[in-house]
Amino acid sequence: MEYVFDIASWLLLIAGGVFVFIGGVGALRMPDFYMRMHAASLTDTLGTILVLLGIALQAGLSLAAIKLAAIMVFLLLTSPTAAYALANAARLSGLAPERRIADEGGT
Amino acid sequence: MEFLGLYNYWVFAILLMTGLYAVISCANLIKKLIGMTIFQAAVFLLYISMDKVEGGTAPIIQADTAGQIYSNPLPQVLILTAIVVGIATLSLGLAIVVRISETYGTIEEDQIRTMDEE
Amino acid sequence: MVTLFGVFLLTLLVITAIGIMRAQHLFVAVMLSGIFSLQMAAIFFILDAADVALTEAAVGAGVATVLMLGALALTDDRERGPKRHRWAPVAVVTLTTLMVIYATFDKPRLGDPSAPVHQHVAPWYLEETPRLIDVPNVVTAILASFRGYDTLGELFVIFTAGIGVLFLLTNPSKEGALSLLRSAEAEGLRHHLVPRIVGRLVVPFIVLFGLYVQFHGDYGPGGGFQAGALISAGFILYALLEGEGRALQVTPVRLLRGMIAGGALLFVGVGLAGMLLGGNFLDYSILADSPIAGQHLGILLVELGVGFTVTGTLLTVFHAFAAREQRS
């Protein structure tokens, strides 16, 4: 039973790390501000929650797990709000999304 | 291994000098203040690096462990004080910069100096 | 493994510092300095300094960023002027870096238990704290009791900084303050729905957590400074979301000034109570029946005083910057 928890927590931690890495690559490589922010914020929230779940499995059922659950709820509330506030601020200060004409080859 | 044992102190040296360079050679007053905070942070890093003991843990004495090695609590107390004093200094410095900006209209040091000499 | 993580974070720290130096736009420099403080907090935690990590995260990454942004809103946004590289500062700085790096080769390696810094007073503190004060968090015991005099001095430094900012940035006219409360710019972010709702959900928990950190400072990382920074961060969030006028109704200016002075008065009062009851200044052992109970009471009151003053000062400084903006 210990092994199952261990392996599950390892998988969650690695998955969380992979998601944050993808978010980082997206934040660097995307061409437009809104696309970059989209990449960074979504993957950040998910990656952090997966990492916290992995650590909570390692902690077992104890006070530390309850504290981690509280942090998870807090992050789930505030991280998307921060992304919204960032996008809203960019929109209000006049940064418009790039318009790209879709490539109509073939149709 | 010597590299890893001394890396903290080398980073301290580089940060110290980055902060110092910002303070002495940036003309913008707010950049100078930010350089000052980097300088202070480097000093904090030096003190806290000195307090780590191999195999130690944070100096919070749990009742049921005996023979546990603790890291040195004394530099932590000094740096706790220093952090709060640092932000007090920063807030006062920012207030002075705001007043300078209202009086002179600029926060570039060389422009302020030419205005003073007129 | 932890060492590798530490090395990675330290490298990131240097890169962030160089990024701050080279940023032309001051807004970018301020945001990077917030990230810098967060990395410092992570490094402090790896180096077993839990209290210091909490303080650096709350004060450096939280309140300092807000204050710098407030100052930026009142002054220029961009670093103007040509970027001249003057060679004398670069030469001096490089020379000093090389000298400091050369000097570090004499230092004991990181984590060496036989370093001189671990020999004299620190083992005494670690052994005597359970016997004399019986508080699990040794850092709080040293801060509030063994070296309480230093903490008193630091409290007065914060007090002086608050008074200094009030001298520099207060609106002198009465009707300026009243019109400020009614002006349209005192609306804050009221027309942004999502941050307002989430902020309203989150602010009570921030203040509650600040109170937890204040009173739990004896048993875990915490204490007056961290709690003051956290509670003032909660109220600053409220002020940013609901507008300056509303925030000044929730925490009126008289209350904030009373908190600044009251905290310092509480600390000095505990010291004087020790003197009046027959002991020395800041002697907590005679405040209650047994020395250990006296120490507990003394530490509680003293940390409370510190928490009051830090909260009052940080909020006063923030409102001083925010109110100035409304006027200009």
Report pLDDT digits (tens) over B6-33: 888 889 999 999 999 988 888 888 899 9
Alpha-carbon distance of C50 to A11, in angstroms, equals 28
The full set of domain ranges for chain B reads 2-49+70-117
**CATH code linked to domain B2-49+70-117:** 1.10.287.3510
Phi, psi of C127 (to 5 degrees): -85, -40
What pLDDT is attached to residue C312?
A: 93
B115 touches C at CB < 8 Å:
no
ipTM of the complex: 0.92
Percent of chain A residues topping a pLDDT of 90: 27
Please provide the average confidence, as pLDDT, over all residues in chain B: 86
3-state class (DSSP) for residue C78: strand
**Rounded Cα–Cα distance for residues C44 and B8 (Å):** 11
Say if residue C290's pLDDT is above 90. no
Q: Which two tokens stand for residue A71?
A: 């942090």
pLDDT digits (tens, 9 = 90+) for B95-118: 999 888 888 877 787 788 888 887
Rounded Cα distance between C259 and C307, Å, is: 9
Q: Per-residue confidence at C186, pLDDT binned at 50, 70, 90?
A: low
Q: Could you tell me which residue, C234 or A32, shows the higher pLDDT?
A: C234
Pick from B49, B61, B89: CB nearest C110: B49
CB C146 within 8 A of CB B81: no
DSSP C179-209: HHHHSGGGGTTTT-HHHHHHHHHHHHHHHHH
**What confidence score (pLDDT) does residue A107 get?**
46
Q: How far is CA A2 from the centre of its chain?
A: 28
From the list A35, A28, A27, the residue with the least C-alpha distance to A98 is A35
Please list every residue in chain C whose beta carbon sits closer than 8 Å to the beta carbon of residue A77: 198, 201-202
Please tell me which residue of chain B has the smallest CA distance to C130.
Answer: B61
**Under an 8 A CB cutoff, do A85 and C192 touch?**
yes
Residue C84 confidence (pLDDT): 65
B98 touches C: beta carbon within 8 Å: yes
Query: Does residue C135 register a pLDDT over 80?
Result: yes
pLDDT higher than threshold 80 for residue C188: no
Q: Report the residue from B48, B49, B84 with minimal CB separation from C154.
A: B84
Per DSSP, the residues of chain A read -HHHHHHHHHHHHHHHHHHHHHHHHHHHH-SSHHHHHHHHHHHHHHHHHHHHHHHHHHH-SSHHHHHHHHHHHHHHHHHHHHHHHHHHHHHHTTPPPPP-PPP-TT-
pLDDT of residue A30: 85
Question: What is the nearest CA distance from C192 to chain A, expressed in angstroms?
Answer: 8
pLDDT above 50 (res C265):
yes
Nearest CA distance, C197 vs chain A (angstrom): 10
Give the mean pLDDT of chain C.
85
Q: Quick one: pLDDT at residue C326? A: 54
Taking CB atoms and an 8 Å cutoff, what residues of chain A touch C192? Answer: 85, 88
Q: pTM of the full predicted structure?
A: 0.90
Inform me whether the pLDDT recorded for C242 exceeds 60: yes
- Output the pLDDT for position B94: 92
Mutate to test the interface with B, among C18, C30, C78, C126 (most CBs of B within 10 A): C126
Q: Which of C33-47, C113-127, C306-320 has the lowest mean pLDDT?
A: C113-127
Q: Give percent of chain C above pLDDT 70.
A: 89
Q: Do B107 and C75 touch (CB under 8 A)?
A: yes
